[in-house]
Structure 1
Amino acid sequence: MKIKDFPHAGETPPFGAGGSGVGLYIHIPFCKQACHYCDFHFSTSLKKKNELVDALCQEMILRKDEIPGPLQTIYFGGGTPSLLEAEELAQIFKTIDSHFEVNPDAEITLEANPDDLTEAKLKMLAASRINRLSIGVQSFFEEDLKLMNRAHNAIEAVTCLELAKNYFDNISIDLIYGMPDMSDARWQENLDKTLALDIPHISSYALTVEPNTALQKFIEKGVVKPVDDAVAQGHFEILIERMQQAGFENYEFSNFGKPGYYSQNNTAYWTGKSYLGIGPSAHSYDGETRSWNVNSNPKYIKAIQSGELPIERETLSVTDKYNEYVMTGLRTIWGISLIKIEESFGLKFKEYALQQAQKHIEEHLLFLDQDRIVVTQKGKFLSDGLASDLFLINLS
């Protein structure tokens, strides 16, 4: 095993494509319909959308002092942010500009569903401050989309991408693998269609069965076959090989970008940068504390209208911060730095990490390059398990 097999090992992870700053995440908790696998917070009723947008803007004003520097990323997540109208986006950006400093080269991403991306919608988004789209395609096959209860169909999945390329250069799509009855051949064809469309960034996730979702209930009743981890691992290996052949870099376990197209938002998250989360259920992180908003639209709106923050906070212990650094770092091509561990957490933490990693290094699941521990190609699909082996409950 040679260092050339890990071209970014030993490098210091960047903030996205470069620069400095923090992130702003804005949660838009509305969807046209509920996907069977989704456990995110959202509502299928749009009745309170105007009130919610007002509340988002008010929360930003109440929390403006929590941002320690200029914004390098703004991310509209959900839910379905592509349900926002031009006036609502303008209202949000006016609030941002009035209360935050935004870097001129900030990456501003909006998640979108294919059925929303008509040419008129794309023109509107292109005329706004949005400069990156993350499109929830999930699959180009009708049977997969129906199983997931997606709002779009296979034709819309292709059409919206062909249209979007006329207005945006920086586009990412989401794809899901490991679905029941998804053959290797069908997964290969999903990837072929994606590559033929020349999309520069792909986020791809294994289908997971979350508690209390429709998918879990369908599997329990025998309506849908159980998810098979072996199938998912096979699809992941196909994904890695195809993306490498096409010139994509797997800079984080689920994220693949062509050079110059890494998501700055994703990179910031996985490398421990601070971010402020706005909206119901949104999380925030400043390096020392983590906080999260109530996951109820009515409770959120009522609290904000009363001038209160419906928020819970926890202060992270040294052990918490170490575990989080290991968990996020081992998912990336930059791995974790033993020097950083010693500087940030102490010599005992460094010695513990190296000791726990040793057996995995011998099994060629982890790789030690200078001061960095990096997951190997062989170990990628096991990265979360490898990270948990380096966790500790307490070390004094």
Structure 2
Amino acid sequence: MSGIYLHIPFCKQACHYCDFHFSTNPQLMDKMVDVMCGELMLQKDYLGKSSQIKTIYFGGGTPSLLSPGQLEKLLDAVYENYAVSPEEVTLETNPDDLTSEKLQAFKSLGVDRLSIGIQSFNDQILKFCNRAHNAKESVQSIELAQNAGFQKLSIDLMYGFPAEDHQIWERDLQKAMEIDAGHISSYCLTIEPKTAFGVWAEKGKIHPNSDDFNAEQFEMLQEKMESNGYVQYEISNFGKPDAFAIHNSNYWKGVPYLGIGPSAHSFDGKNRQHNISNNVKYIKGIENDSPAIISDPLTDDDIINEYILTSLRTIWGTDLELLRNRHQLDLLGKHEPLIQTLQNEGLLVIRERKVILTKQGKLLADLIAEKLFI
């Protein structure tokens, strides 16, 4: 079982918080689609000839900028070069890109899950972030998707915006629960150095919140989701029991995947690689049958540590028997005093031979994982 991720590196405009690879110049979009089809052919043996593709994920950037024809061309290339038995085909979208006609076209092509980049239902926050949509379009986009027959919907929400109190976040959470899309991905604002926010913070134009302030908003998120029947199946992801994202869940479980497009990352189960984060150089490399790929070889310890880091983020936890059988590692024996301390502090539990973080432990997930690394 494997997945394919396709990175569409184009956006209408640059959000002030974003440090992903993208371009606001759409002139190369047709060429990019053709070249990504070429990479799909060049990389068809990366996951192994017998590998079954179960999930396809269009990320970015803004994949909803693709025309139905461009999306169809990419999907055709996937089906022509891989053994595909899809359980989930996801398209990341922005609210302002969605029309009834476009949604019906996407659905007819086999897209069955939408991830809609709402970020906030507050117009001031959206303007502050330089988003291309407004709050009204956020609500309308979800209604359009539901009317088009999309039963698997996810909305993105951000918290941690500079503020004096939690009122805006409280209203965003309440609005999300009224809409009840079934899945919510929620991330704390991180101010990255080369973004507009990073520049503003350096100049003192904005002031990041304290860690305690952001932690309070995270706890509000957990409480609101739980009280409305959502399961925190991964630290930043909440879904109704039948609405978990399969593709992203597979990332956290260590399932191999192939990344296509500039800056896309891949994992074959033993090693990682990623494409160059430059549209022109990426295109040139594929056209010359010499893709600009950077290898990221992993040691056995790297693989174990990555598994600990990602699995601890989930409700399924770190499987002690998997580590013992696959890697000959007795994690409990190696870290017994530390694990006992973390249990006593209420940060994790051992259940059915799995190390699972508590609600409190999820606030310190990365720190705990680092302590458990070998």
Q: TM-score per shorter chain, which class? A: over 0.9
Q: Tell me which residue corresponds to 1:107.
A: 88
Provide the identity percentage.
Answer: 45
The code of the aligned residue for 1:176 comes to M
Shift of 1:220: 1.6
Aligned partner of 2:23 in structure 1 is 43
How many Å apart are 1:158 and its aligned residue? 1.0
- Stretch deviating more after TM superposition (115-124 or 55-64): 115-124
Deviation at 1:286, TM superposition (A): 1.2
Of 224, 232, 240, 2:214 maps to: 232
Partner of 1:13: none
Query: Could you list the per-position Cα deviations for residues 318-343 of structure 1 after superposition, in whole angstroms to 9, with x for gaps in the alignment?
Result: 11011101100110011112211122
* Rounded Cα–Cα distance in structure 2 between residues aligned with 1:128 and 1:194: 28
Q: Deviations over 1:92-148 (max 9, x none)?
A: 111111111111x42000000011012222222122211100000000001111121
**Is 2:365 the partner of 1:383?**
yes
TM-score, length basis structure 1? 0.91
Q: Do the aligned partners of 1:42 and 1:78 also contact (CA within 8 Å) in 2?
A: yes
Structure 1: stretches of 5+ with no match in the other structure = 1-20
* TM superposition score normalised by structure 2: 0.96
Task: For residues 195-224 of structure 1, give each alpha carbon's deviation from its aligned partner in whole angstroms, at most 9, with x where no partner exists.
Answer: 111201000000011121111111122222
Match of 1:251, SS state, is strand
Per the alignment, residue 353 of structure 2 pairs with 371
Mapped partners of 1:100, 1:90: distance in 2: 15
The aligned counterpart of 1:145 is: 126
| 2:332–2:339 Cα contact (<8 Å) kept | no
Number of aligned residue pairs: give it: 371
Distance in 1, matches of 2:333 and 2:300, equals 15
Give the distance between the partners of 2:371 and 2:298, measured in 1 at CA.
Answer: 20
Match of 2:54 in 1: 72
Could you tell me whether the CA contact under 8 Å between 2:157 and 2:186 is conserved in 1?
yes
Amino acid at match of 1:67: L
Q: What is the aligned counterpart of 1:280 among 262, 272, 283? A: 262
Distance 2:330 2:55 in 1: 35
Aligned to 1:132: 113
Matches within 5 A, 1:1-396: 21-68=1-48, 69-103=51-85, 105-167=86-148, 168-181=150-163, 183-347=165-329, 349-392=331-374
Residue 213 of structure 2: SS of its match in structure 1? Answer: helix
Letter in structure 2 aligned against 1:89: L
Give me the whole-angstrom Cα distance separating, in 2, the residues matched to 1:370 and 1:91.
46
CA contact (8 A) 1:178 1:228 kept: no
Q: Distance in 1 between matches of 2:69 and 2:332?
A: 51
Q: Is the 8 A contact 1:341 1:350 kept in 2?
A: no
**Which whole-Å CA distance do the structure 2 matches of 1:337 and 1:70 have between them?**
24
Shift of the 317–225 alpha-carbon distance from structure 1 to 2, 3 Å rule, reads same
- Measured in 2, the distance between the counterparts of 1:253 and 1:76 equals 22
- Rounded to whole Å, the distance in 2 between the matches of 1:83 and 1:55 is 17
User: Counterparts of 1:354 and 1:346 in 2: how far apart (Å)?
Assistant: 16
Write the distance in 2 (CA, Å) between the matches of 1:233 and 1:185: 15
- Measured in 1, the distance between the counterparts of 2:193 and 2:328 equals 38
Which amino acid counterpart does residue 280 of structure 1 have in structure 2?
Answer: P
Q: Is the 8 A contact 2:320 2:330 kept in 1?
A: no
Q: Decide whether aligned partners of structure 1 residues 182 and 81 sit closer, same or farther in structure 2, where only a CA change above 3 A counts.
A: farther
